[in-house]
Structure 1
Amino acid sequence: MYFTIAGNTKTDKELIKKATKEVGKRTSFLPKTIKYSVIETEEQLHVLGKVLEHESRSSVKLTLTLHDTEGKIEKAGTEYVFGPLDYQISEGFYPTLMDLIRLDVFKETDETMSVEESYRNEKLLQVLEEELE
Structure 2
Amino acid sequence: MPKVFHLIYLSHAVADLSYTDIRDILETSRKNNSLAETTGVLIYRDGYFVQVLEGNKATVLDLVEKIKEDDRNYKLKVLVQTESSQRYFKEWSMGFLDGDIEANTTDALLDLFDICYESEKTDEAKIMEMVKRFSESVPPLK
TM-score (norm 2): 0.27
Normalising by the residue count of structure 1, what TM-score does the alignment of the two structures yield?
0.28
Q: Which has the higher strand share?
A: 2
More contact order relative to length (CA 8 Å, sep ≥ 6): 2
Return the index of the structure with the highest Cα Rg. 1
Higher helix share: 1
